[in-house]
Amino acid sequence: MKLEHRSAGVLLHISSLPGPCVQGEMGAEAFHFIDFLSSAGMSVWQTLPLVPTHSDRSPYNGLSVHAGNPELISLSVLHDWGWLSTIDVGDRQQAMDEAHTHFQQSGSDEARADYAKFIADQSHWLDDYALFMVLRDVFNTPWVEWPAAERDRDPVVMQSRRDELATEVESVRFTQFVFDRQWSILKRYANQHRVKMFGDVPIFVAYDSADVWANRACFRLDEEGHVSVVTGVPPDYFSQTGQRWGNPHYDWSYLQRHGFDWWVDRLRSQLSRFDLLRVDHFRGFESSWEIDANEQTAEQGVWAKVPGLELFTTLEDRLGPLPLVAEDLGIISVEVEQLRDDLGLPGMKVLQFAFSGDADNPHLPYNHSQQAVVYTGTHDNDTSIGWFDGLDHETRAVVSDSLDGDPQAMPWPLIREALASTAGLAMFPMQDLLELGSDGRMNTPGIEGGNWEWRFQWDEMADDLAARMRVLLGRYGRLVM
């Protein structure tokens, strides 16, 4: 993918939007946010993965790589469609059940046709996902602990379960239809306002997910579905003991023999939803860190080679030009850089990483290239104010001198540095535009609890923020007219 025009955007997950529910939704506030981006002259809205999550609410620990998170569905929009008589934000499942009943009894011919098409087009993942979610409620345990027949997907038992639980399965399928319908409307509104939607594809999938349960041959599991090695990264900037993610590793030999079909289906789903995609943990497509499942940290492991070039070549052959950005952060080898460059993918530069090390630090602005996306920070970083306040005196002096700005004005010197970069796309976490400290942090890698909960309120935004950003974008050649 070529970044041919200078542009800028904001990183904000849907769940961080304001609103009356536990987390943000694809309702009026989402459309309002697009209006803000448009008025500020910005052309990209980057979200985190939209997947249904486990109880930790991490969008990088999803129950499916294809499905949408039902918690992001706007009940107000359902009410506007006439599918809900009242809005009760306290009982979402009851609201979805009422909407489903209304749809079955009096849905328009057009909506029914759309539903039938959605079911047919998405059956390759939707049928398994719907049954998985219902069985997960029945057994209330991860799939690897289910009775052997359900765990191992015995064909006779599976059909019996589909018949027995048909009503519940259909409810899950309907909910996914509603998610897809609302997202499509939101994305169309964004594109009409010259805003591109920028998604995120985690390299690995959750062990307890419909993807692993329904596609066990794609993963390195034993006959009972247990793992011997799990994913993670060795010690790095974010953690002295590394990060033990715990996802199962792919059986790349199996995937190769089957033409990477599983990955083709996965990426096709995301390309239908987004204009751009960030490929998370890109270095894992060159080699991945394998940790013995019995290890409690990620300190002990080995790098295992991955056929990344063959995978992405196949994806491009099957799906056409790929609008991908490589998340090439962390321990990056020459081989990883070569893979990224061979594929022609832009990489990422993070200014919070720029002010340590030598002059060849790739995150330093004068080392950027047009084929890059520059960030002040990411969802895994502290906010820029929190980061700056946490630096030692010597490093703070280096940052202040390098940015030639008033340290009291942070994060604006860092924002201007990103805008001035030669990188084709400049991205800003919403927290930085709101000048928030560490209490606005989205995620702290390696720390359980307290993550993925941050939300903003409109009254935190300066009245002149859109106008101020529009002036800056014009000054640095990133304004979308």
Hey, what domains does the chain have and what are their CATH numbers?
7-64+187-475 (3.20.20.80)
Q: From CA 119, how far away is CA 135, in angstroms rounded?
A: 20
Q: From CA 101, how far away is CA 106, in angstroms rounded?
A: 8
In the chain, % helix, strand, coil (3-state, to 5) comes to 45, 15, 40
If one counts every other C-beta atom within 10 angstroms of the C-beta of residue 416, the result is 17
Tokens of 195: 């805003």
Q: Does 380 participate in catalysis according to the annotation? A: yes
Three-class secondary structure of residue 349 per DSSP: strand
| Whole-number pLDDT of residue 162 | 97
Number of helical H runs and strand E runs in the chain: 18, 12
Kind of pairing, strands 347-350 and 372-375?
Answer: parallel
Q: From CA 200, how far away is CA 421, in angstroms rounded?
A: 23
| Whole-number pLDDT of residue 407 | 76
- Say which of 327, 328, 382, 432 is annotated catalytic: 327
Q: Does 280 participate in catalysis according to the annotation? A: yes
Nearest to 153 by CA among 123, 130, 132, 126: 132
If one counts every other C-beta atom within 10 angstroms of the C-beta of residue 197, the result is 20
| Whole-number pLDDT of residue 86 | 85
Q: From CA 44, how far away is CA 124, in angstroms rounded?
A: 30
| Whole-number pLDDT of residue 445 | 87
Kind of pairing, strands 229-233 and 243-248?
Answer: antiparallel
- Say which of 150, 200, 286, 380 is annotated catalytic: 380
Torsion of CA 259, 339, 279, 469, to 10 degrees: -150
pTM of the model: 0.96
Nearest to 158 by CA among 176, 146, 140, 141: 146
Q: What residues of the chain score a pLDDT lower than 50?
A: none
Q: How far does CA 454 lie from the centroid of its chain? A: 15
Q: From CA 36, how far away is CA 107, in angstroms rounded?
A: 34
Q: From CA 437, how far away is CA 382, in angstroms rounded?
A: 8
Q: From CA 29, how far away is CA 22, in angstroms rounded?
A: 14
| Whole-number pLDDT of residue 4 | 85
- Say which of 29, 150, 180, 280 is annotated catalytic: 280
